[in-house]
Amino acid sequence: MGLSGISKSTVSKLCKDIDERIGEFLNRPLTGEWPYVWLDATYLKVRQGGRIVPVAAITAVAANTEGRREIIGLGIGPSEAETFWTEFLRSLRARGLGGVRLVISDAHTGLKSAIARVFEATWQCYRVHWMRNALAYASRGQYTVVAAAIRQAFDQSDRAHAGETCRKVSEQLRPRWPKLADLMDASEYDVLAYMSFPRQHRTKLHSTNPIERVNKEVKRRADVVGIFPNEASIMRLIGAVLFEQNDEWQTSSRYMQVEAFAQIDKEEIDPILSITTKAA
């Protein structure tokens, strides 16, 4: 750029300006209703107290009733700690996040309880991740057969038939793969939760697709850094990536069909599913 050098004060000013912009973005008020929220964690390394420790950078994406998706938050902490998840979700609610009906994420310990406590919403486990865990109980040569059997539940038209099919398949697989059958029984409500919501939205409610591109870009930038000097540097770099992606989304077409949001009604949600989630 033709510069012989940059002074420390200039660097500090640039960082301060970036931090202010990122802070405004990550702490902006949230208005309206946001029925769907996706959460995903990217694990990074940071220096703390003379040691290098792993931390989770949690990205929150939500879709509002106007069919738009936005990046609504970034949190850093131990992903398996329920207190961290609870504080993070409460910070989103304090900024105005409301109308949450379904939260989609991986199976982080403590997250399900935090969701029920903060939003009284249903939790959906990422289906691809769940399927990977399920197939781990079968031999590699049987993956195709077992996967095809399980997918029968996902191919049903509604939640009731999906649950019935899931239980039937579980019993069919039990003699040979009892642990797989136990997993299917224990996680039926978690992996089929999205089936209680409008058909037009379902393909986007059981996967990481809404934030997949964000995750890839975050990981690409983080790999270049390797080890972050502190958590503030994580917020600065990852926050900037999220800021850019969110701006791009605001100029793109709607992400979800608006008319289908009118079909969401508490009475349509499986009552057993709701009770199970709140009791977790």
Give per-residue pLDDT as tens, 30-55: 999 999 999 988 889 999 888 999 99
> Which residue has 């694990």 as its token pair?
43
pTM confidence score: 0.87
- Predicted confidence band at 5 (pLDDT cuts at 50, 70, 90)? low
Whether the pLDDT of residue 191 is over 60: the answer is: yes
Mean pLDDT value across the chain: 88
CA distance 212 to 80: 21
How confident is the model over 155-177, as pLDDT tens digits? 999 999 999 999 999 999 999 99
pLDDT at 37: 96
User: 10 Å Cβ neighbour count for 104?
Assistant: 26
pLDDT at 216: 85
How confident is the model over 55-91, as pLDDT tens digits? 989 999 999 999 999 999 999 988 777 889 999 999 9
111 and 126 Cβ atoms separated by less than 8 Å? no
- Predicted confidence band at 11 (pLDDT cuts at 50, 70, 90)? low
